[in-house]
């Protein structure tokens, strides 16, 4: 299993290089030319096909490089590029911390910080607010492979320090980003004053839930999208293959076998966060998540699945003795940070005020 993982990540690291499409296309065309050179009828026919495919791939690969180049030259990063482990990470900060903690946002999936741009702008009007692009997202370099939650939990505080940001922090993470900031808080409790988890990914669901093809399908889609980009079959200007390879790499954790390999470094267990103030923000029901119930064989199993997901959703409350739950507005689902940004900023601002009152 580990050997297969190393091979897979080596391939992802290779595919993440935007120039790879050109030599691959030339190789395909070269094989075709060699077949044509044999003179055999079948070989000539097959060779012409290979040459044609190689030329098409080469055109697409060059198109991709042109788009990446245009994207890179279209503008400068809005924040700072700081060095972490010999590579560059992008940190965007605004607002004044004053006598309170700095808020650090982390969106879900493996999305860039700009996904929470609206929340960041709203919070920066009240206190210091920071967005960080993980390696392989936004303006940051692709970074080393494999991508793991454990590695990114070390890289996040390092990027903040390199950017000159000062603790204490309130880490705010959504979904997979919630798992990441909880890990960062466990590793560096000296830096973290509080934690706001926005419907964070519960690893109980990955390990014990009924079979769910959604995550596996997302990983396959990331891989296919990376290949499509490599050969220019995309429209987004400046879209790098590395961002999709990075997401495919870290999403390997989100399977029972993947979690078993990294569990000790990735799971935040009961009591791991001591008495750290923790606000868990979750929907009351499964609004927007009806697909998890669709695979149920009957009503009894649907009821069991629903109960499992709702209980797993609150599992993080056991991580800290100072944890509490806040429910999202009625009718909202997992994507409530984009549906109700004012509500989210209000919850975070409330915790910031509480921490200011408590003092050091």
Encode pLDDT of 48-77 as tens digits.
Answer: 999 999 999 999 999 999 988 887 766 789
Confidence of residue 4 (pLDDT cuts 50, 70, 90): low
SS3 category, 174: strand
Q: Are 171 and 102 in contact (CB under 8 A)?
A: no
Confidence of residue 291 (pLDDT cuts 50, 70, 90): confident
Lowest mean pLDDT among 12-21, 238-247, 318-327: 238-247
Cα-Cα-Cα-Cα dihedral sign, residues 82, 85, 86, 90: negative
SS3 category, 27: helix
Second CATH level (architecture) for the domain 82-201+254-358: 3-Layer(aba) Sandwich (3.40)
Q: What is the pTM of this model?
A: 0.91
Average pLDDT, the chain: 92
Q: Are 325 and 317 in contact (CB under 8 A)?
A: yes
Give 226-256 as a DSSP string.
Answer: HHHHHTT---STT--HHHHHHHHHHGGGSSH
More confident residue, 288 or 270: 270
> What are the Cα distances from residue 197, in Å, to 72, 105, 200, 282, 284?
33, 10, 6, 8, 15
Phi and psi at 279, nearest 5°, equal -110, 115
Q: Are strands 87-94 and 129-133 parallel, antiparallel or unpaired?
A: antiparallel
Q: Are 122 and 342 in contact (CB under 8 A)?
A: yes
Confidence of residue 237 (pLDDT cuts 50, 70, 90): low
1 pLDDT above the threshold of 60: no
Average pLDDT in the 325-334 region? 95
Q: Are 169 and 103 in contact (CB under 8 A)?
A: yes
**Quick one: pLDDT at residue 358?**
74
**Quick one: pLDDT at residue 238?**
64
Enclosing H/E stretch for 84: strand 80-84
Average pLDDT in the 307-325 region? 95
pLDDT in tens, 68-111: 888 776 678 999 999 999 999 999 999 998 888 999 999 999 99
Q: Which residues contact 96 (CB under 8 A, 6 or more apart)?
A: 127, 128
Which value, to the nearest 10 degrees, does the dihedral of the CA atoms of residues 82, 83, 84, 90 take?
Answer: 30
Which value, to the nearest 10 degrees, does the dihedral of the CA atoms of residues 120, 123, 124, 126 take?
Answer: 180
Confidence of residue 240 (pLDDT cuts 50, 70, 90): confident
Average pLDDT in the 162-185 region? 97
Confidence of residue 360 (pLDDT cuts 50, 70, 90): low
Q: What percent of the chain has pLDDT over 70?
A: 97
Q: Which residues contact 9 (CB under 8 A, 6 or more apart)?
A: 145, 146, 249
SS3 category, 113: helix
Confidence of residue 28 (pLDDT cuts 50, 70, 90): very high
Task: Give the Cα-Cα-Cα angle 276, 111, 208 (nearest 5 degrees).
Answer: 65
Ranges of each domain in the chain: 2-75+214-247, 82-201+254-358
């Amino acid at each position: 299993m580990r050997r297969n993982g190393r091979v897979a990540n080596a391939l992802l690291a290779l595919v993440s290089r935007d120039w790879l499409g050109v030599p691959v296309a030339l190789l395909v065309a070269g094989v075709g030319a060699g077949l044509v050179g044999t003179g055999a009828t079948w070989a000539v026919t097959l060779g012409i096909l290979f040459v044609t495919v190689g030329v098409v791939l080469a055109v697409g690969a060059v198109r991709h490089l042109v788009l990446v180049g245009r994207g890179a030259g279209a503008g400068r990063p809005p924040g700072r590029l700081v060095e972490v482990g010999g590579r560059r990470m992008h940190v965007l900060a605004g607002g004044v911390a004053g006598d309170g903690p700095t808020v650090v946002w982390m969106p879900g999936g493996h999305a860039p910080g700009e996904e929470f741009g609206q929340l960041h702008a709203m919070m920066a009007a009240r206190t210091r607010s920071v967005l960080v692009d993980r390696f392989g997202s936004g303006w940051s370099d692709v970074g080393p492979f494999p991508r793991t939650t454990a590695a990114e939990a070390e890289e996040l505080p390092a990027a903040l320090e390199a950017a000159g940001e000062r603790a204490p922090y309130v880490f705010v993470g959504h979904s997979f980003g919630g798992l990441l900031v909880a890990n960062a808080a466990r590793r560096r409790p000296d830096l973290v004053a509080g934690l706001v988890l926005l419907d964070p990914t519960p690893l109980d669901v990955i390990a014990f839930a009924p079979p769910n093809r959604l995550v596996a399908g997302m990983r396959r889609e990331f891989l296919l999208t990376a290949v499509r980009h490599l050969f220019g079959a995309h429209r987004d200007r400046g879209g790098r293959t590395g961002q999709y390879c990075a997401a495919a790499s870290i999403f390997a954790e989100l399977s029972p076998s993947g979690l078993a390999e990294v569990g000790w470094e990735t799971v935040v267990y009961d009591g791991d966060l001591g008495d750290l103030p923790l606000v868990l923000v979750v929907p009351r029901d499964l609004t927007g998540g009806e697909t998890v119930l669709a695979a149920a064989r009957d009503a009894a199993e649907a009821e069991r699945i629903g109960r499992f997901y709702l209980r797993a959703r609150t599992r993080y409350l056991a991580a800290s003795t100072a944890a509490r739950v806040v429910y999202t507005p009625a009718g909202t689902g997992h994507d409530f940070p984009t549906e109700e940004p004012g509500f989210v900023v209000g919850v975070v601002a409330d915790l910031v005020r509480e921490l200011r009152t408590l003092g050091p």
